[in-house]
Chain A
Amino acid sequence: MKKQLATMALGALMAAGPAMADLVFPSLSYRTGPYAAGGIPFADGYADYFTLLNERDGGIGGVPAKVIECETGYNTEKGVECYESTKGEGALVYQPLSTGITYQLIPKTTADNIPMHTMGYGRTSAKNGDVFSHTFNYPANYWDGASGAINYLLEENGGDLSGKKIALVYHNSAYGKEPIRTLEELSAKHGFELVALPVDHPGQEQKSQWLQIRRDRPDFVLMWGWGVMNQVAVQEAANIRFPMENFIGIWWSGAEHDVMPAGDAANGYKALTFHNVGSDYPLYDDLQKYVIDAGKAAGAGDQVGTVLYNRGLYAAMLAAEAAKKAQEISGKADITSGDMRDGMEALEMTEEKMAELGLPNFGPTFSVSCDNHGGDALVGVTQWDAASKTWTLISEFKPTDGDVIGPLVADDSAAYAAENNIASRCN
């Protein structure tokens, strides 16, 4: 039935316009449930960028882009349903925005020859493109995040963290557990003590964890939180008067809606990031003109310029650039998911390219290769100013500790390769 309708729609389209299919970018979004606060701005940004490309440039390389949205509710079962229902429509790349769904889709996308981009989430060892042929996690991953946070703290403390106590408040799921291994290594290397405090889904109940923090008095608190967990944690930290400047969240715990509920008490809270903040870029003028003023903005249209909207925009931009690269490599405008994968693997983001796109200095420069699907791992730090209600970048994008992360990535991906009999494919 659905297929029939799709074919009918396709037939109508082919009769009306030039015989060319769209470039399909499925958006496995979540606008409902306890993680909706983060899912909505990301999905809006992702959709708006493709709308802009369609309205302004007539698509990518002359082929219109089509975003098919499917609601997952951050639930893996619905994620599977969404994946199966959209993959038949010629999906080019998946971005599930959920570590749980990512784990499921890694083998599936590889078997179906569709690339998946898990930007700053998912399985960290997917950085090793030699093993994970269809999974990309540029420009940065969780272990870069963990190392970036520690590097930042090292910098603040004159290069010495020995004897300090660092607490990790994490979402008790695959997502939250990812950084623990790296942090343990780093704690051995730099001599700080690590206390891991799990918070169960969805994260509304954190009294006991913060009571423990109040009792243990760690010098710094790191947080791997998402959805409703973030705002509760910031509020709890404010309640026990934990100094906000010593509280650092991962990039998924650093959006406006995470800190707004705590009001002034959240002032000084820090979060990591792998892209810049604010809406002060030439691209936003075009966005205003072609998308927002034209009434074509996705969702309620009230998220423009927020941190996660920017991230969705950035994800879409990287996908579009990879599609352009794929068109260039394959020599045809109407690319397949296989071409898209090759395009992603050859992607190179330079400062000139970003300036040309109207996003100068928006993200770190990086390049992807067969071995390295994770980019160059540059991580910055942002800080919240409660008075002006803005995030500012207080530490530029800096390299992370490759000596620690490299072997961990190699270990974990080797284990995956052994488990699934994956042969080396690079070189």
Chain B
Amino acid sequence: MFYREAGDFKTSYRDDNQTFPIKFDRYRYYVVLAVAFGIIPFIINDYWANALLLPFLIYAIAAIGLNILVGYCGQVSLGTGGFMAVGAYACYKLMTAFPDVSMFVHVVLAGGITAIVGVLFGLPSLRIKGFYLAVATLAAQFFLVWLFNRVPWFYNYSASGQINAPERDVFGIIITGPNAPAWATYLFCLIFLTLSAIIARNLTRGTTGRTWMAIRDMDIAAEIIGVNPLRAKLSAFAVSSFFVGVSGALFFAIYLGAVEVGEAFGIQKSFLVLFMVIIGGLGSIFGSFAGAAFLVLLPVVLKVVGADLLGWPTDIVAHLQLVIVGGLIVLFLILEPHGLAQLWRVAKEKLRLWPFPH
């Protein structure tokens, strides 16, 4: 009923291959965009921005980045936290060195720097695969965190080793620092997320994405049919690290404002983003959104319900939160190993036939 294809004729290949071939889906996408860009900025407040929306947007970018590497190219990475740290510290160094340059430029450049670092750490992937590659990226994680802790140049020789985002603006609107309005920070991250998703979608359905997927499905076969593994793997590392770097820069500059590398970009961050990708669905852009939303919003919802509405002691709520989130992850992986994206796909198939399934 909702997903009717009847009467929705495609007269060109272009139409047939668009991201949302079903009319209802396409309109839903426009509505989501319209609400996100046109309505939320007017009703947003500090709590919604800083507690829910900013982390969701930023983690969604990181999840898209990791999804390209793990989901599309099949290279397992545990270095996401370290690469986010590269983005954050690159952004910090750029922000303090060139105060007059727009934040857009800084964030994109921070992503570019992370891409270079990502390629460097992606080199071992040409020789090793699977678990061994995971261990190599784990080394990247620890090395990068150690580096930013150890070399004072990265944190401008501050006494505590913390980096603090100074106030910077875009076209005169303050974007970072405590005086930044909630709508501006939200829109800034939203623009990056939208662009990231569009770029990722278009990369993954083009030649680049197909070579990635060929490598993922069977690298020897891919090599035989003419896919250059060096190029495919390193480009996946570069693109993935670019998005992860952008998310790290936003995470530091827009969301937290002050960051300590060991605490903010530790190994648990790598796992968190990996969980988002796995729960959301490997090899799916929508899955990245769903996974980020699930792991960012669920703890907050549980906290609001448990501590604020029911008035339970905060420690019990915090423990319950771990139990419930952990339980749900296990449950999801058993019932739907392909993640929330697959769940959504199945639901769509069902809705297409509903209410007459035969």
Q: Which of A65-73, A320-328, A335-343 contacts B (4 or more CB under 8 A)?
A: A65-73
* A100 to B266 alpha-carbon distance, docked (Å): 14
Residue A420 lies at the interface, judged by CB distance under 8 Å to chain B: yes
Q: Which of A152-160, A173-181, A366-374 lines the interface with chain B?
A: A173-181
Does A107 contact B178, Cβ atoms closer than 8 Å?
yes
Complex contact A84–B307 (CB within 8 A): no
Q: B residues within 8 A CB of A88?
A: 47
Flag the segment in A52-60, A74-82, A286-294, A397-405 that touches B.
Answer: A74-82
Contact partners of B263 in chain A: CB under 8 A: 75-76, 100, 173, 201
CA–CA, A94 to B138, complex, Å? 37
Contact A77 B262 (CB under 8 A): no
B342, CB-defined interface residue at 8 Å: no
Contact of A103 with B164 in the complex, beta carbons under 8 Å: yes
A241 contacts B by Cβ under 8 Å: no
Q: Are B262 and A31 within 8 A (Cβ)?
A: no
Q: Report whether B314 and A29 are in contact in the complex, using a CB–CB cutoff of 8 Å.
A: yes
Which residues from chain B contact A80 at a C-beta distance below 8 Å?
50-51, 255-256
Residues of A within 8 A of B264 (CB): 76-77
Q: Tell me the nearest residue of chain B to A99, going by C-beta.
A: B160
Size bin of chain B's contact surface = 35 or more
The residue in chain A whose Cβ has the minimal distance to the Cβ of B49 is A84
Which residues from B are CB-within-8-Å of A112? 178
Nearest B residue to A75, CB-CB: B263
> Are B319's CB and A77's CB within 8 A?
no
Is the pair B51, A178 in contact by a Cβ cutoff of 8 Å? no
Measured between beta carbons, the chain B residues less than 8 angstroms from A125 are 159
* Closest residue on chain A to residue B259 by CB atoms: A76
Interface of B is mostly: helix
Q: Are B160 and A103 in contact (CB under 8 A)?
A: yes
Q: Which residue of B lies closest to A31 (CB)?
A: B315
Which A1-47 residues have C-beta < 8 A from chain B?
1-2, 5, 29, 31-32, 36, 40
Which residues in chain B, 108-165, are within 8 Å of chain A measured between CB atoms?
Answer: 149, 158-162, 164
Q: For chain B, residues 267 to 310, give those with C-beta under 8 angstroms from any C-beta of chain A.
A: 300, 303-304, 307-309
**What 0/1 readout, one digit per residue, does chain A (404-427) give for beta carbons within 8 Å of chain B?**
000000001001000111000000
Cross-chain contact B178 with A111 (CB below 8 angstroms): yes
Q: Does B260 contact A (CB under 8 A)?
A: yes
In this complex, what residue of B is CB-closest to A175?
B160
Q: Are B159 and A84 in contact (CB under 8 A)?
A: no
* Measured CA separation A383–B337 after assembly (Å): 56
Q: Chain B residues near A70: list those with CB within 8 A.
A: 307, 314
Report whether B162 and A103 are in contact in the complex, using a CB–CB cutoff of 8 Å: yes
Nearest CB in chain A: distance from B98 CB, A: 14
Q: Are B262 and A173 in contact (CB under 8 A)?
A: yes
Q: Which residues of B contact A178 (CB under 8 A)?
A: 159-160
**Whole-angstrom distance from the CB of B258 to the nearest CB of chain A?**
4
The answer to whether A108 has its CB under 8 Å from any CB of chain B is yes
- Asked if B160 and A107 make an inter-chain contact with CB atoms under 8 angstroms apart, the answer reads no
A162-196 toward B: CB 8 Å interface, digit per residue (1/0)? 00000000001111011011000000000000000
Cβ of B315 and Cβ of A174 under 8 Å apart?
no
- Contact, CB under 8 Å: B309 / A5: yes
Indicate if the CB atoms of B166 and A110 lie closer than 8 Å.
no
A100 in complex: contacting residue of B55, B260, B308, B315, CB < 8 Å: B260
Of all chain A residues, which has the CB nearest B145? A200
Q: Are A85 and B256 in contact (CB under 8 A)?
A: no
Interface code B296-334, partner A: CB below 8 Å = 1, 0 otherwise?
000010011001110001110111000000000000000
Measured CB to CB, the nearest residue on chain A to B182 is: A84
Chain A residues positioned under 8 Å from B177 (CB to CB): 107, 111, 420
Given contacts A31-B314, A31-B315, A81-B300, contact A174 B167 (CB under 8 A): no
Excluding A71-B318, A85-B51, A103-B258, 5 further A-B contacts by CB distance (< 8 Å) are: A29-B314, A71-B303, A84-B50, A104-B258, A108-B178
> Could you name 12 residue pairs across A and B whose Cβ atoms are closer than 8 Å?
A36-B315, A76-B258, A80-B51, A81-B51, A99-B160, A103-B162, A107-B164, A110-B178, A111-B177, A112-B178, A178-B159, A412-B159
Residues of B in contact with A (beta carbons under 8 Å apart): 46-47, 50-51, 55, 96, 149, 158-162, 164, 166-167, 177-179, 255-260, 262-264, 266, 300, 303-304, 307-309, 313-315, 317-319
